[in-house]
């Protein structure tokens, strides 16, 4: 038997097709309209399609395990405007009503922005859509037919994809294997690795992420941004009908985010329905056609994106006006809590600056500038090869994070699920983790005191949970972040290092966290914040330290800081180099 010939490359700019192996894909429809020079968002708003008799239209074939690569939506059959409808969907957990009669319509060729505070029900809705959860009531309609997916695999076969905010990447597999898992190209019984890496290299380029990923790199060696790109590429394999992006830019640089926006535009031009979850208003107005807002598990409003503004959306999300999002009170800096003198490690070089009691210092810079690596070196998670770390004037040589914690330093890392939380343990256990020794007597934890401490800090940070014994994995991303912060507030550390503390957090929770940071500084704590959001940098900082290529490129006081000055220290010198 002769080998099946490889399929021809698609003319669609972001996809390739795979070896077909006997299965024929539907031919592209020549009648599909093109948007020309119009913006794709405007084109999506004006798009109209004629209805057709779905009873006489065959469903598109499911993904076969032997198929790999991305398949253009133009190769699929046409659909009516509502590709996916979640109709009056409700879901409860342990007495908490996560969703209450929510209706969502995802239309072909447009971007529906899904907004709401953490705990509003966004993640639960996406999990029901992808069959990770089963709804208590309501129905799911795909291409005009009511469906019931047996599993997430079944939902994926029917074209439903969710790009998770925190991807689950298999560390011992290559980028290419992670992207095409379940659809690896084969030569007989063996994986055709040469074709696999060629497909991955081509698809990375066509998706707009050329130069950002090595198809042969192992998952364990990827940065958070690279892991997110792998998750995006994975969603494009096969024949997606609906793609939901859950905070996709939270770990991406501006350049990578721009590539994603162009990709979403091409997806819409190809008739794919896109659901976009984000708390970043600029992104919402950049990509969205419509905006659906949830609050406390209910739909509180739906607006065309060009007929609303950020103030209205915030009011719908939180039920109150957040005109003063940032809380900043000027304090007279006290003694130096942390002093770095020519600190050097594998990733940072000759870094020197101080953080004083009652002061908020923000580390700014591009993704990859070395800020996270500096924080890990300070707390003993990465080896220091030169320089000095002083805590309260005394030299500290941490060999592990335990030494730093004992000295009064703590780190709330960017990757909370993999680096900070015990996902299968309770909210109470996670909050008390850093003070177990203080709560113990004769090696026995005083449970009543532990519960009181956990409850006090959970209330302080407004952690939304049915009870303190609830598993932390069941909380929304924003509430998980609050649990991490509550742990270190319970520890009463001298210096808090917060790496992207509001990543994936809604505007209401952001305001709460900003107020907590300001309160900590008022109480005399030293706070070192790593942030990639310039408004956050400017709103929080008493002083800004800008890093570039592992070195400090400049310091700015609050009065002299501006977005232009920060970007100048972050980018312009790098371009000149």
CATH of the domain at 149: 3.40.50.300
Q: Please say which residue of 318, 344, 363 terminates a domain.
A: 318
Note the pLDDT of residue 321.
54
Note the pLDDT of residue 510.
78
Residue 60 within any structural domain of the chain: no
Residue 43 within any structural domain of the chain: no
Give every residue of the chain whose pLDDT is below 50, as ranges: 1-80, 322, 573-577
**Tell me: the pLDDT tens digits for 501-535?**
887 776 777 778 888 888 888 888 999 999 988 88
Q: Dihedrals φ, ψ of 194, to 5°?
A: -60, -45
Note the pLDDT of residue 361.
95
**Tell me: the pLDDT tens digits for 137-196?**
999 999 989 999 999 999 999 999 999 887 888 989 999 999 998 889 888 889 899 999
77-92 core/surface letters (b: 16 or more CB in 10 A; e: else): ebbeeebbbbeebbbe
Residue 99 within any structural domain of the chain: yes
* 487/547 same-domain check: no
* 76/158 same-domain check: yes
* 434/500 same-domain check: no
* 404/264 same-domain check: no
Positive or negative CA dihedral for 9, 15, 16, 20? negative
* 119/195 same-domain check: yes
Note the pLDDT of residue 316.
85
Residue 128 within any structural domain of the chain: yes
Tokens 């074939």 sit on residue: 61
* 138/248 same-domain check: yes
Note the pLDDT of residue 336.
94
Note the pLDDT of residue 107.
94
Q: Please say which residue of 270, 290, 318 terminates a domain.
A: 318
User: Quick one: which of 211, 222, 234, 239 has its CA closest to 64?
Assistant: 239
Note the pLDDT of residue 466.
87
* 206/84 same-domain check: yes
Number of structural domains (the chain) is 3
Note the pLDDT of residue 96.
73
Note the pLDDT of residue 22.
37
Residue 148 within any structural domain of the chain: yes
* 498/479 same-domain check: no
Residue 347 within any structural domain of the chain: yes
Give the span between the Cα atoms of 316 and 117, in whole angstroms.
10
* 362/427 same-domain check: no
Range of the domain at 516: 334-408+494-577
Confirm whether pTM is higher than 0.75.
Answer: no
Residue 63 within any structural domain of the chain: no
* 439/378 same-domain check: no
Note the pLDDT of residue 72.
40
Residue 15 within any structural domain of the chain: no
* 475/498 same-domain check: no
Give the span between the Cα atoms of 345 and 102, in whole angstroms.
51
């Amino acid at each position: 038997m002769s080998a099946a010939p490889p399929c021809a490359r698609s003319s669609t700019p972001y996809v390739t097709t795979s070896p077909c192996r006997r299965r024929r894909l539907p031919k592209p429809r020549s009648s599909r309209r093109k948007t020309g020079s119009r913006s794709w968002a405007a084109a999506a708003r004006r798009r109209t399609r004629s209805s057709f008799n779905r009873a006489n239209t065959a469903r598109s074939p499911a993904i076969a395990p032997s198929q790999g690569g991305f398949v253009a939506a133009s190769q699929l059959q046409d659909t009516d405007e509502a590709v996916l409808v979640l109709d009056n969907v409700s879901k409860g957990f342990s007495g908490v009503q996560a969703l209450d009669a929510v209706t969502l319509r995802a239309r072909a060729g447009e971007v529906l922005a899904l907004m709401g505070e953490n705990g509003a029900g966004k993640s639960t809705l996406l999990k029901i859509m992808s069959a990770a959860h089963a709804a208590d009531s309501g129905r799911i309609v795909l291409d005009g037919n009511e469906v019931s997916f047996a599993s997430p695999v079944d939902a994926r076969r029917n074209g439903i994809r969710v790009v998770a905010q925190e991807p689950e990447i298999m560390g011992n597999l290559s980028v290419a294997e992670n992207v095409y898992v379940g659809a690896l190209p084969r030569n007989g019984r063996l994986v055709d690795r040469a074709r696999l890496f060629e497909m991955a290299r081509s698809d990375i380029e066509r998706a707009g992420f050329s130069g950002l990923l090595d198809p042969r790199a192992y998952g364990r060696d990827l940065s958070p941004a690279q892991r997110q790109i792998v998750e995006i590429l994975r969603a494009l394999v096969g024949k997606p009908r609906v793609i939901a992006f859950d905070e996709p830019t939270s770990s991406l640089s501006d350049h990578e985010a721009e590539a994603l926006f162009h990709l979403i535009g091409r997806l819409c031009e190809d008739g794919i329905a896109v659901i976009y979850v984000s708390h970043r208003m600029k992104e919402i107005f950049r990509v969205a056609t419509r905006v659906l807002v949830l609050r406390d598990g209910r739909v509180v409003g739906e607006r065309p994106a060009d007929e609303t503004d950020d103030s209205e959306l915030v009011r719908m999300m939180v039920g109150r006006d957040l005109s003063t999002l940032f809380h900043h009170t000027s304090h007279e800096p006290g003694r130096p809590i942390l002093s770095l003198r020519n600190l050097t490690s594998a990733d940072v070089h000759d870094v020197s600056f101080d953080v004083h009691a009652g002061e908020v210092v923000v580390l700014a810079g591009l993704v990859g500038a070395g800020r996270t690596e500096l924080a890990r070196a300070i707390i003993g998670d990465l080896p220091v090869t030169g320089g000095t770390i002083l805590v309260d004037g005394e030299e500290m040589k941490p060999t592990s994070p335990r030494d730093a914690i004992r000295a009064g330093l703590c780190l709330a890392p960017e990757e909370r699920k993999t680096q900070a939380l015990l996902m299968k343990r309770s909210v109470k256990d996670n909050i008390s983790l850093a003070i177990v020794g203080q709560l113990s007597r004769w090696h026995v934890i005083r449970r009543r005191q532990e519960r009181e401490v956990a409850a006090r800090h959970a209330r302080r940070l407004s952690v939304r949970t049915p009870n303190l014994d609830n598993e932390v994995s069941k909380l929304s991303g924003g509430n998980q972040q609050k649990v991490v912060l509550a742990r270190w507030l319970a520890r009463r550390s001298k210096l808090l290092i917060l790496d992207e503390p509001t990543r994936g957090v809604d505007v209401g929770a952001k305001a709460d966290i900003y107020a907590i940071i300001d309160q900590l500084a008022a109480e005399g704590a030293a706070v070192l914040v790593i942030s990639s959001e310039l408004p956050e940098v400017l709103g929080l900082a008493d002083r800004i330290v800008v890093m570039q290529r592992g070195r400090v490129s400049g310091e700015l006081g609050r009065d002299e800081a501006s977005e232009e000055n920060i970007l100048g220290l972050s980018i312009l010198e790098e371009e000149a180099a």
